[in-house]
Amino acid sequence: MTPRRLALPDQVVGLVDVPPSDASDAPDAPGRLPLVLLHGGAVDHRMWGPQLEAFPERRVVAPDARGHGGSSDADAPYRLADDVVALLDALGVDRAVLAGVSMGGGTAVDVALEHPDRCAALVVTGTGTSEPTFTDDWAVAAFADWKDAETRGDPEAWIAAFAHFTPGPHRTRAEVDPVVDALVEAMARDTLGHLRLDEAGVPIPPTPPTPVTDTWERARGIRSPVLVVNGALDGRDHLENGRRLARVVPHGTYRELAGAAHYAGLEAPDGYVAAVRTFLAEHDL
């Protein structure tokens, strides 16, 4: 799939936009709602490669978040959920199914909270809301190493720390499909390439998005159906944040995919697509 770039008022968005290939004649028939795929932090739309053509009955859109892939950096305060809605507006999409991993999963939940009329359903992986809780030793250490590398301006240490999330706490990188491992590393390196450098050549951290707050309490009011589909080998806290979301929302379903960790859609693409298809069929979406 060839990505394109879409100019919005305050940013340029890189995205892949796949039209339906077997759409019915009825524009409002079940299955007509677009599926918007939101990637995790430090990666980009390429993490959705196995899913881009797996839903031929519907339009599939996979954008890059600010500072990732083909999207421009932030020059002013922004919220990722608002960026998604601005993109939907530009594409002429009123409502969509939003699927996200990690940062993208939190963004999907934020859209449901801040713009509920734009979200028909949610598929969330590797997180709960955009305010996840991390207390287990593995997660705390992984995030600390990643932050330390950023603070020191050490790109290779940053890559190495980020790479912990691909296998999860129960495997080494050598036990992950080398194609998956190499793709995740390549996306992270390309994200680093977006960063401006200071006079010493040290990467300057990007402008963080303005957070959406009180998400766990507000999640109780999400009326859209929610599927949480996690890789069973992901970290304990990543799994528990997802279980919590499925419990909190009124219409939540929880699934785990064997043999996969944080990037379940890459490591178990058939299982991921099957879980999403079943969920959408159950809700006539």
- Please report where in the chains the tokens 């390429």 appear, as a residue: 46
What is the pLDDT at residue 67? 93
Model confidence at 24, pLDDT cuts 50, 70, 90, reads low
Given a cut of 60, whether residue 52 has pLDDT beyond it is: yes
Q: Pick 7-22+33-133+213-282's CATH classification: 3.40.50.1400, 3.40.50.300, 3.40.50.1820, 3.40.50.620.
A: 3.40.50.1820
Q: What percent of the chain has pLDDT over 90?
A: 87
Cα 198 to the center of its chain, rounded Å: 29
Model confidence at 27, pLDDT cuts 50, 70, 90, reads very low
Count of alpha carbons within 13 Å of 106, Cβ hemisphere only? 24
pLDDT digits (tens, 9 = 90+) for 206-258: 889 999 999 999 999 999 999 999 999 999 999 999 999 999 999 999 999 99
Mean pLDDT is lowest, of 117-121, 147-151, 244-248, for: 147-151
Mean pLDDT over each residue of the chain, to the nearest integer? 94
Average pLDDT, stretch 91-98?
98
Q: Where are the domains of the chain?
A: 7-22+33-133+213-282, 137-194
List the structure tokens of 102: 């990690």
